Amino acid sequence: MTPVQAKEFYRSMLLARLFEERAAREYQDGHIGGFLHLYPGEEAVAVGAIQASDQGDYVVSTYREHVHALVKGISPRRIMAELFGKSEGVSGGLGGSMHIFDRSLRFFGGWAIVGETFPVAIGVGYAIRLRNDADVCLCFFGDGAVNQGTFHESLNMAGLWKLPVLFVCENNRYQIGTEIHRHSAVTDMARRASVYGIGTWKADGMDVESVFGVVRMAIEKIRRGEGPQFVECETYRFRGHSMADPSSYRPQAESAGFLLQDPLKMGIFQGCPGKDCLEIFSERCRSGNSLSEEELLSVRQEIEATIDDAVLYARDAREPGIEDLEKAWGIPLWERTSGD
């Protein structure tokens, strides 16, 4: 790992963490509505996987997708403005936290029903294959999604037609509040994917270098025409399922198992302090001398300024009007007839 790479991993993970924690604050202050599903704890997965892909590759994600969008290159301003429901938001303020789309950056959602990313991703993969393009589609989902019918239907088609899709399982061991041993007869996610003729891999979802390295190899295989690949990343979300979830279902013993000091001194892990991808990585940078304490601090200061700027941008942005909705929808809102 070069210092440049180290800095990029650190910058990206810290941006993800601080963006989400700021979103939580803005939610508590009433600036963000609806459901808000946050990513702290899982940063190594999105950062490692998307940085291992190319700019032209597609990303399809779930309702916990702010960080995937950030890593894909959507500006913090436009994501924060979307959370604020403003027309400068990446989906015009019409999608919200769970529906982030950016066609030009090939960020294809933002899907809020569990299991929807599978068919969308194989559709994108089918289009890539039909046009004989070299791109790959990255499909993100959690361990809970593996029990939806679309997982099995779509992985079967992906395996059958050797579609260029990388399935990235963010196994955080919880389907909302139900622990994996209570929702899955077979808890080895990679094993469940392997029956569809798909190459399976495992990465340490708390270690960005592990995710990056494994995903890079998996994507190379896809580009060589060896068909879809599946990477299971074991990770943990420090917060509840959404802001509406106090996370009371998780035992203290489990939290203790993940327990380590909070390196960022942000005091955020009230419910579940744990083994932290950021802690692991920043410690490694220090001990390996790839990033000095001063560099780590300056990255942090730069990101804090970026996020302050994003929030100010979102606050000052314009509220969309009914005409914006009508324009996005493309159909007159009240006319049910096709009259001229």
Q: Which is nearer to another protein, 150 or 172 (CB)?
A: 150
Q: Which of 48, 109, 164, 274 binds another protein (CB under 8 A)?
A: 109
Return the sign of the alpha-carbon dihedral for residues 288, 290, 295, 296.
negative
Residues 130-149, interacting with another protein (CB under 8 A) = 130, 137, 149
Q: Which of 118, 140, 167, 269 binds another protein (CB under 8 A)?
A: 118
Using CB under 8 A as the binding rule, whether residue 339 contacts another protein is answered as: yes
Span from 67-75, 112-120, 231-239, 281-289 in contact with another protein (CB under 8 A): 112-120
The site string for another protein over 218-257 (x = CB under 8 A, - otherwise) reads ----------------------------------------
Q: Which is nearer to another protein, 113 or 256 (CB)?
A: 113
Distance CA 144, CA 121 (A): 17
Residues 168-197, interacting with another protein (CB under 8 A) = none
Q: Which of 48, 125, 227, 274 binds another protein (CB under 8 A)?
A: 125
Span from 13-21, 44-52, 118-126, 250-258 in contact with another protein (CB under 8 A): 118-126
CB hemisphere CA count around 69 (13 angstroms): 35
Q: How many Cβ atoms sit within 10 Å of the Cβ of residue 294?
A: 8
Cis peptide before 110 (omega within 30 of 0): yes
Q: Which of 3, 126, 162, 255 binds another protein (CB under 8 A)?
A: 126
Q: Which is nearer to another protein, 123 or 271 (CB)?
A: 123
Distance CA 168, CA 173 (A): 14
Distance CA 175, CA 114 (A): 10
Q: Which is nearer to another protein, 132 or 261 (CB)?
A: 132
Helix (H, G, I), strand (E, B) or coil at 244: coil
Q: How far is the CB of 173 from another protein (least distance, A)?
A: 25
Distance CA 127, CA 58 (A): 11
Distances in Å between the Cα of 222 and the Cα atoms of 22, 211, 215 are 37, 16, 10
Using CB under 8 A as the binding rule, whether residue 337 contacts another protein is answered as: yes
- Identify the CA nearest to 303 among candidates 4, 5, 13, 2: 13
Residues 20-59, interacting with another protein (CB under 8 A) = 58
Distances in Å between the Cα of 151 and the Cα atoms of 65, 85, 123, 191, 230 are 19, 31, 13, 13, 12
Count of residues that interact with another protein, criterion CB under 8 A: 53
Using CB under 8 A as the binding rule, whether residue 94 contacts another protein is answered as: yes
**Per the structure block, which two tokens stand in for 327?**
């324009």
Q: Which is nearer to another protein, 52 or 81 (CB)?
A: 81
Using CB under 8 A as the binding rule, whether residue 322 contacts another protein is answered as: no
Distances in Å between the Cα of 210 and the Cα atoms of 1, 9, 18, 276 are 12, 12, 22, 14
Asked if residue 20 lies in contact with residue 80, where contact means CB atoms within 8 angstroms, the answer is no
Using CB under 8 A as the binding rule, whether residue 60 contacts another protein is answered as: yes
Using CB under 8 A as the binding rule, whether residue 330 contacts another protein is answered as: yes
Distances in Å between the Cα of 95 and the Cα atoms of 84, 99, 320 are 11, 5, 12
Using CB under 8 A as the binding rule, whether residue 85 contacts another protein is answered as: no
Residue bearing tokens 């970026």: 306
Q: Interface with another protein by CB under 8 A: which residues?
A: 58, 60, 89-95, 99, 101-103, 108-111, 113, 115-116, 118-130, 137, 149-150, 153-154, 156-157, 160, 325, 327-331, 335-340
